[in-house]
């Protein structure tokens, strides 16, 4: 056993873990961070978009040396059927600002930089160490962790579980349930390398400008899911994810879905001639507000993906992870400053502070969206994209048909596919869940 006792042990060195470890170390606490990868980032997978505001709260001058790819000036939403996409694009020169709001990043590189900041702040970071279980006393209070290293029990006043979406330790210790197949999505992603100029020409970008495409429709074959294409400096992150329960139900393969997405006529020209250098897969929490587990207990708190904190509608996760890590650390610092013990009662401060932040407020706003999207996946991901595509084509194709008849055809196609009550019901349910 390692005799040294720490104020806090942070399990995991992703966005949430690094934010927590940094915040605690900055406030002078004795912190040990454990990471199973060879360095922070080597096990971490994300699209990835970085949200500047949440990082500024931790490292105000991060733009000086953080490995950033491109700042986003354009967002494209695509509704796809098998041969078309209907897009809603937003691009603004306002995003070319002194301190841009969102960036594309490459997680393995970014996390390595983030981890360096954690070390510089004074935390002890131990990599290549898998935490196998939580150490608990006779009353169930968490008093530390056990690792796969020899004599691997280490003690601390509080353990911050930033172990990622799988939340294995929490489940093993009976703190929370294993994620359910209908509450997590499986996403697969490839890194496509192309010359910088090619990427800029294909996506209409200048200098370090960046853009992202979020796509939904028949690409997910009736499952609840989305595709994405993010422009980095010299590569494109391209991926697609669907609910695990849907993969289980349909027998679709993740790599089959990915390859079909790549061959879509709207996508293929964007990645033509690229060299693929990595294939990754990752789970994404999709259950929203209703899937958030118990966030604290005797001697522990849980943050980030392990707490299922992900906003599926806005595709935001890393910012929720960073913020929850920071807030948990601030709460622990307050408890510590009062010289109070790390009991569940005292650590409930973390939940109280998180409830007041955008993290829980945003998830609460969309609390009914997951259920709606997951149960109506056929309509939202197959029927409507096809109807919209046909309507757009009907609108644009000039073939001598009077416009009045064209409109009638489009109108009838919607009624036929969903009926009056279906259409109103969908609109009503969507509006209510969005509210």
Find out whether 85 and 78 touch, Cβ atoms under 8 Å. yes
Q: Which stretch binds other proteins (CB under 8 A): 87-95, 179-187, 411-419, 422-430?
A: 179-187
For residue 130, state whether it binds other proteins (rule: CB under 8 A). yes
Segment 53 to 92, residues that bind other proteins, using CB under 8 A: none
CA 263 vs CA 76, 259, 283, 308: distances in Å? 19, 6, 24, 32
Smallest CA-to-CA distance from 75 within 239, 189, 267, 214 is with 214
For residue 181, state whether it binds other proteins (rule: CB under 8 A). yes
Question: What is the DSSP code (8-state) at residue 303?
Answer: -
Q: Which stretch binds other proteins (CB under 8 A): 113-121, 137-145, 177-185, 291-299?
A: 177-185
Residue 276 CB, nearest distance to other proteins (Å)? 6
Opening angle at CA 230, ends 226 and 235, nearest 5? 135
**162, 168, 226, 320: which one binds other proteins (CB under 8 A):** 168
Smallest CA-to-CA distance from 310 within 391, 251, 245, 369 is with 369
Smallest CA-to-CA distance from 340 within 158, 123, 135 is with 158
**281, 371, 392, 433: which one binds other proteins (CB under 8 A):** 281
Opening angle at CA 109, ends 104 and 112, nearest 5? 130
For residue 410, state whether it binds other proteins (rule: CB under 8 A). no
Question: What is the DSSP code (8-state) at residue 278?
Answer: E
Q: What is the distance between the alpha carbons of residues 266 and 387, in angstroms, rounded to a whole number?
A: 18
Question: Considering beta carbons, is residue 26 or 227 the nearer one to other proteins?
Answer: 227
For residue 191, state whether it binds other proteins (rule: CB under 8 A). yes
- What x/- string results for residues 20 through 39 when contact with other proteins is judged by CB under 8 A? ----------------xxx-
Q: 326: Cβ–Cβ under 8 A, 6 or more apart, which residues?
A: 19, 20, 23, 54, 57, 58
Residue 28 CB, nearest distance to other proteins (Å)? 28
For residue 411, state whether it binds other proteins (rule: CB under 8 A). no
**86, 109, 136, 413: which one binds other proteins (CB under 8 A):** 109
Opening angle at CA 49, ends 181 and 123, nearest 5? 90
For residue 426, state whether it binds other proteins (rule: CB under 8 A). no
**60, 251, 400, 402: which one binds other proteins (CB under 8 A):** 251
Provide the binding-site residues for other proteins, judged by CB under 8 A: 36-38, 41-46, 48, 106-109, 111, 127-130, 132, 147-149, 165-166, 168, 178-181, 184, 186, 188, 190-191, 235, 244, 247-248, 251-256, 258-260, 276-283
């Amino acid at each position: 056993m390692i005799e040294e006792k720490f104020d806090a042990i942070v399990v995991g060195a992703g966005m949430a873990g690094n934010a927590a470890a940094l915040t605690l170390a900055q406030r002078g606490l004795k912190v040990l961070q454990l990471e199973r990868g060879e360095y922070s980032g080597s096990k971490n997978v994300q699209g990835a978009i970085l949200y500047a505001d949440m990082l500024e709260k931790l490292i105000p001058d991060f733009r000086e040396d953080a490995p950033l790819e491109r700042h986003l000036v354009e967002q494209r939403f695509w509704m796809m059927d098998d041969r078309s996409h209907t897009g809603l694009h937003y691009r603004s020169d306002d995003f070319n600002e002194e301190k841009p709001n969102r960036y594309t990043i490459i997680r393995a590189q970014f996390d390595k930089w983030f981890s360096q900041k954690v070390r510089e702040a004074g935390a002890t970071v131990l990599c290549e160490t898998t935490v196998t279980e939580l150490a608990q006393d006779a009353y169930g209070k968490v008093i530390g962790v056990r690792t796969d290293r020899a004599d691997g029990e280490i003690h601390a006043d509080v353990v911050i579980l930033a172990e990622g979406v799988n939340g294995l330790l929490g489940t093993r210790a009976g703190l929370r349930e294993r994620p359910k197949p209908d509450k997590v999505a499986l996403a697969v992603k490839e890194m496509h390398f192309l010359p910088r100029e090619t990427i800029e020409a294909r996506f209409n970008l200048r200098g370090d400008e960046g853009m992202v495409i979020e796509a939904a429709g028949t690409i997910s074959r009736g499952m609840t899911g989305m595709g994405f294409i993010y422009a980095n400096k010299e590569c494109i992150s391209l991926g697609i994810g669907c609910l695990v329960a849907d993969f289980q139900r349909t027998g679709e393969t993740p790599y089959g879905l990915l390859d079909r997405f790549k061959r879509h006529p709207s996508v293929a020209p964007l990645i033509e001639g690229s060299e693929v250098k990595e294939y990754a897969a990752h789970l994404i929490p999709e259950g929203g507000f209703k899937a958030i587990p118990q966030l604290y207990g005797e001697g522990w708190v849980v943050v980030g993906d392990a707490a299922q904190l992900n906003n599926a509608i806005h595709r935001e996760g890393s910012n929720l992870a960073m913020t929850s890590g920071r807030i948990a650390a601030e709460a622990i610092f307050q408890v510590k400053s009062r010289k109070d013990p790390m009991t569940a009662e005292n650590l409930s401060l973390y939940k109280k502070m998180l409830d007041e932040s955008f993290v829980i407020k945003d998830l609460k706003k969309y609390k009914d969206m997951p259920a709606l999207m997951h149960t109506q996946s056929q309509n939202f991901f197959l029927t409507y994209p096809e109807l919209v595509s046909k309507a757009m084509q009907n609108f644009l194709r000039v073939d001598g048909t009077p416009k009045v008849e064209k409109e009638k055809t489009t109108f009838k196609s919607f009624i036929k596919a969903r009926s009056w009550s279906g259409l109103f019901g969908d609109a009503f349910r969507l509006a209510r869940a969005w509210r």
